């Protein structure tokens, strides 16, 4: 199977191509400009793998949580690629991809993958590292919110320091880690196919409807 995987959720853009289990990837730190960088990174990964876009048999994408714009870029591209190629799309939490990458390189028993959520909040998800087990869904943690279940775990990722004070004995691990599409590409063949490719949103939209301030509907005064 030939798989194209990509991530645009947090502070990087990455793409990976798996050709019968052999993974070729490109990774760029990218705090902004995900929309501009995604296609060049995808094209570079395809070229490195010696594969044409038309050869792709499955699309894999990180579903969030993450920055609103970057998250939408990835989700929209996955939907468009899947439709254009007529191939299935699979996905995984950006925090799980982040944690799986960290589990390969650090010796912690329990990991909290963490990313900034704005307003001093943090997106976080808890995992057992060895063997890798998902211990809970992605969550939005408010500043200072007690999270006792995170005790004695190691927080990693760009939101790790924001968890300080939320639980006892949280260790702060590497904060410069980002999700990497190469990790997702290795898992994509066994992930369930998504009927609908939906982002993982943990925060309600900031925009609010202006109740009572809409324009009045015109009334047709003609007699019937």
146-179: per-residue pLDDT in tens? 999 999 999 999 999 999 888 888 999 999 999 9
pLDDT of residue 205: 53
Per-residue pLDDT band for 42 (boundaries 50, 70, 90) equals very high
Let me know the angle formed at the C-alpha of 90 by 88 and 91, rounded to the nearest 5 degrees: 160
Q: What is the pLDDT of residues 78-125, one digit of tens each?
A: 999 999 999 999 999 999 999 999 998 888 899 999 999 988 899 999
Query: Which of 9-23, 85-99, 205-219 is least confident?
Result: 205-219
Do the beta carbons of residue 139 and residue 115 sit within 8 Å? Answer: no
pLDDT of residue 26: 98
pLDDT of residue 73: 97
Strand, helix or coil at 103?
helix
Tell me the pairing of strands 12-19 and 22-29.
antiparallel
């Amino acid at each position: 199977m030939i798989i194209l995987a990509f991530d645009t959720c947090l502070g990087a853009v990455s793409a990976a191509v798996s050709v019968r289990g052999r993974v070729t990837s490109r990774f760029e730190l990218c705090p902004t400009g995900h929309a501009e960088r995604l296609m060049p990174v995808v094209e570079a990964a395809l070229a490195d793998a010696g594969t044409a876009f038309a050869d792709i048999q499955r699309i894999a994408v990180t579903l969030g949580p993450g920055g609103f714009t970057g998250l939408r870029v990835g989700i929209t591209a996955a939907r468009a690629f899947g439709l254009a190629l007529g191939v299935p799309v699979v996905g995984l939490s950006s925090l799980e991809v982040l944690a799986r990458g960290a589990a390969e390189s650090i010796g912690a028993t329990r990991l909290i993958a963490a990313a900034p959520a704005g307003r001093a909040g943090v997106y976080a998800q808890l995992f057992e590292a060895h063997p890798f087990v998902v211990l809970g869904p992605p969550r939005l943690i408010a500043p200072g919110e007690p999270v006792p279940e995170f005790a004695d775990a190691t927080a990693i990722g760009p939101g790790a320091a924001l968890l300080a004070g939320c639980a006892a004995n949280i260790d702060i691990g590497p904060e410069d880690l980002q999700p990497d599409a190469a990790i997702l590409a290795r898992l994509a063949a066994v992930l369930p196919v998504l009927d609908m490719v939906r982002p993982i949103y943990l925060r309600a939209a900031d925009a609010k409807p202006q109740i009572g301030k809409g324009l009045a509907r015109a009334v047709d005064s003609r007699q019937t």
